[in-house]
Amino acid sequence: MNEPIDLHSALASFSDLWSPRIVSQVNDYDVRVAKVAGDHVWHAHDDTDEFFLVLDGEFAIALRDESGERAVTLPKGSVFVVPRGVEHRPSAPGGASILMFEPAGTLSVGDRHDDVPDHVDATIGRALG
């Protein structure tokens, strides 16, 4: 991975939804891109924060913690970090493309999650290409 990576080309190389692809690594972290549409699953990462950057479309994240439930909506170009341990459910009713930054080996459905529907890939990230 010593050449520049065009994220638009990377995203064009696959069509699966909610199935992140690893485009690069920084120290012990994966840089992943994904195409998303509809709802993901409620889940939480007990030991790590989760960083999201919206590359295209609009992306929403419902959040649940001891203070209650709320949602954030992220337009193209926005970033948001879900703190470790916070239950969240990403969604993109109109579809979106996102970039995530998280420790290598982090499962896309977290450490605790609801039943995983068929349209969500429970993965630690798939190779690009």
pLDDT band at 13 (very low <50, low <70, confident <90, very high): very high
pLDDT in tens, 56-98: 999 999 999 888 999 999 999 999 999 999 999 999 999 999 9
Provide the sign of the torsion angle of the four alpha carbons 95, 43, 51, 7, taken in this order.
negative
Residues composing the chain: 129
**Of the candidates 55, 43, 58, which has an alpha carbon nearest to the alpha carbon of residue 107?**
43
Mean pLDDT of the chain: 93
Give this prediction's pTM. Answer: 0.92
